[in-house]
Structure 1
């Protein structure tokens, strides 16, 4: 059995980014950028209007009030075809290319239209209401650096850069296997025996997606070793990471590790000195990483957050550190002394900090709804009262 720090270090070593792939821009949302987004064009390419109004020459406006002939219109994507001669102006709209000869755009609220002429009542002061070429970015500018998740703002930048495809880190493929004869698919209870709805895989799948992974399948299997061995052979061929829940103890039907034995399972670590979740283990079989989580729901989700989340984040290109952002906050409740194992107490944010929730049972499921942080307690930590600083991790 190893310490939490030792296990975390081993996970960080495993969590190296997968190779990159090129995908269409429409499929890139939420992916981790592998190469920088470099602008293929300058934006704007020419002087464009920043307002709806009238393009005019400063010389014509110097002795306002003045009436100028409106000789055309300019729209975004449809420029005025011609030169704006002295004594004339052009009706223009936001985003339209400024006609040749334009010194400024006078906003429409300051102009009175009289048929074919526009009346400028005063000489304009202040800004020109024009966006200069390259005022947003120039061709060759890096708009988004690699290693970040493409979100709404970055997707806009990628499209503005005139890119049809972008290079992103391949998403780690994850296959989840839930083991245990007692488990039923939610909403479909067995008629042959009393059972319980299988819940852990749904939480694990959500966590995998949140940290950049792709759930390729979710299987619920009984405790028959030949069947489990067959499933293991199929799983390692379809996934970068296989997650097995349950079957991690030493009972007669605990086959989580045995099912991978024919695939030359190489253990990376087995059991960690933490509470809850001591049976957590990680190994490698036929090129795939295998993560064994406890069967109890709270234990499974706590260990998944502590070890699976940084593993997926690293493989996905975010870096494992993105999922291990521990920070100090004040307690708004109290904690008893910690035992000989590092303990992760489920807690919730409050106005002044965090407080532990009441039900810390490893099988509790309703209590998970209230939990949004893990409070870290080191072995043999003394009792802590309100106001004491504790380490927390978003759960």
Structure 2
């Protein structure tokens, strides 16, 4: 087991042991936010034939100047109807937007500039060849790539797939995540704590973060100060139900800390323990039966940072998504007076305007505090030994949510 590793070393270890989950086929309307497990191609062009862009008249002519003798209206095509025969020179057909155009159509003239006179139509403006015609394959050519493997399906992609009749989609299975909060003084957030106890806020925090990363949360539980035998059975049961187990609390090296003992007790191989960052230095990971267990600090801010830096990348990699969030440069709007020490991650609120990205260091930066988590959408990455942060200083941020 490695001890007190650099963050990148810990991340590399975890991702080297992470492979995408198998695919499953789901109905299109249940695929939003899921990740495509295979490339999807257009099996025809879209549109498949020339279509009208506006309501008006399909005409057969090279160029028609305004006025003149006009065109003979051969037929009127309502939506969903197709022409009975091609247009010949001097002929026209009324068409609705999206209608398939009769063969021989050289332009579509908006009805707003058309004047009917018996069975003929004339136009008050010049019409050029090709006007208001949507050409075959203008949107997508047959054989073109619609969705590439590893793409998260958006509402727009849902629309595209529907246009090609893709009623089912093969996506990566959602990673199943189990969360276990350790410590005898921790009770479920459902309960009223007795003196000396506190409600579990880390379990719901991790569950919410995992859901945002596409995970399927199977369990959010507390150990309740269980005996070693009960804790072993508890963890083994969670592992049977989940692809990834995340524990919180008990990750330090004090007399009451359970994490390492619990993992050794189930025969897990400890990968690393302790990371050179703050908050979240008391984090570690293990593997047993090809399943990863990530142990995070019990302090809320440290738990959140540990999730974003360790667990989040694993969850995304299980779905073949890029594991790491965007790293950007931002101007700090306020100051932070602590200096030196290990690499530090501050909770920040980042925004982008016409001047670029800026970030505010949020109040409540103690690892034991929840306050900053209510607004944080970025982690400010300060290298080890950094001097105090000054207002207007450029800093590196990890953008968690845009």
TM-score (norm 1): 0.90
Alignment of 1:360 with 2:389, yes or no, is no
How many Å separate the matches in 2 of 1:146 and 1:64?
55
Give aligned pairs, total.
Answer: 392
1:341 aligned residue: 342
Give a deviation string over 1:181-234, Cα, whole Å, max 9, x none: 4334335425x6564332112221222122232222222331103332222111
1:381 aligned residue: 386
- For 1:257, what is the secondary structure of its paired residue? helix
- For 1:168, what is the secondary structure of its paired residue? strand
How many Å separate the matches in 1 of 2:396 and 2:38?
35
* Cα offset, 1:257, TM superposition: 3.3
* Cα offset, 1:106, TM superposition: 0.7
Over the residues paired in the alignment, what is the CA RMSD in angstroms? Answer: 2.5
- CA 302–123 in structure 1, closer or farther in 2 if over 3 Å, else same: closer
Question: 16-25 or 282-291: which moved more?
Answer: 16-25
2:179–2:245 CA contact under 8 A, matched in 1: yes
How many Å separate the matches in 1 of 2:223 and 2:91?
80
Give a deviation string over 1:70-113, Cα, whole Å, max 9, x none: 34322343223334355542210111100133221111111123
- For 2:5, what is the secondary structure of its paired residue? coil
- For 2:26, what is the secondary structure of its paired residue? strand
Of 111, 114, 120, which residue of structure 1 is paired with 2:114?
Answer: 111
Alignment of 1:166 with 2:169, yes or no, is yes
2:12 aligned residue: 9
Question: 281-290 or 248-257: which moved more?
Answer: 248-257
Where structure 2 has 5 or more consecutive residues not aligned to the other structure, the ranges are none
How many Å separate the matches in 2 of 1:382 and 1:85?
80
Of 79, 83, 95, which residue of structure 2 is paired with 1:80?
Answer: 83
Alignment of 1:155 with 2:154, yes or no, is no
* Cα offset, 1:340, TM superposition: 3.3
2:327 aligned residue: 326
Alignment of 1:219 with 2:221, yes or no, is yes
Give a deviation string over 1:228-273, Cα, whole Å, max 9, x none: 2222111111111001111223445432333343431111111112
How many Å separate the matches in 1 of 2:255 and 2:63?
94
- For 1:375, what is the secondary structure of its paired residue? strand
2:105 aligned residue: 102
Of 241, 244, 255, which residue of structure 2 is paired with 1:241?
Answer: 244
1:60–1:86 CA contact under 8 A, matched in 2: no
- For 1:328, what is the secondary structure of its paired residue? strand
Alignment of 1:56 with 2:59, yes or no, is yes
- For 1:8, what is the secondary structure of its paired residue? helix
- CA 344–66 in structure 1, closer or farther in 2 if over 3 Å, else same: same
Give a deviation string over 1:102-148, Cα, whole Å, max 9, x none: 22111111112356543334542364211122222222111222222
1:338–1:378 CA contact under 8 A, matched in 2: no
1:52–1:94 CA contact under 8 A, matched in 2: yes
Where structure 1 has 5 or more consecutive residues not aligned to the other structure, the ranges are none
1:201 aligned residue: 203
- CA 121–394 in structure 1, closer or farther in 2 if over 3 Å, else same: closer
- CA 131–254 in structure 1, closer or farther in 2 if over 3 Å, else same: same
* Cα offset, 1:359, TM superposition: 2.0
- For 1:229, what is the secondary structure of its paired residue? helix
How many Å separate the matches in 1 of 2:79 and 2:231?
62
Alignment of 1:277 with 2:265, yes or no, is no
Give a deviation string over 1:27-61, Cα, whole Å, max 9, x none: 22112222222011111111111111011211795
1:312 aligned residue: 315
